[in-house]
Amino acid sequence: MNRTFISVAPQVMPFSFGEEPSNYGDSTAVQCMVFKGDTPLQLHWTLNGQPITNEHAGIRIIKMSPKLSSLSIDAINGHHRGTYKCIANNAAGSAEQIAELLVNGGCAEY
């Protein structure tokens, strides 16, 4: 008997930083959860199109499980504002969700 395994592409749960802009010094966190899709999966985060690593000032990414990743910021400032994207990839395809982090006052700091 031949068995054919069909790989299922990931689907990512939407996430949000909330409807109100954050203030300098506030904390925030979001989670990227793959609710459908086969493992193994790769989960990646970007900010304004650039990959985020744990070397980014003040941003921490923790892989909670094979289908869950957490991004947190302890003290928001100008260089944290922008579009965050979570990308999930597996052998069958990829999926992504985005959320905008708005920050009150000041200019972006680079």
Question: Per residue of the chain (110 residues), what is the pLDDT tens digit?
Answer: 555 566 899 999 999 999 999 999 999 999 999 999 999 999 999 999 999 987 778 999 999 999 999 999 999 999 999 999 999 999 999 999 999 999 997 554 44
Alpha-helical segments (H) within the chain: none
Q: What is the pTM of this model?
A: 0.88
| Residue 11 near residue 34 (C-beta atoms within 8 A) | yes
pLDDT at 105: 73
Contact 108, 81 (CB under 8 A): yes
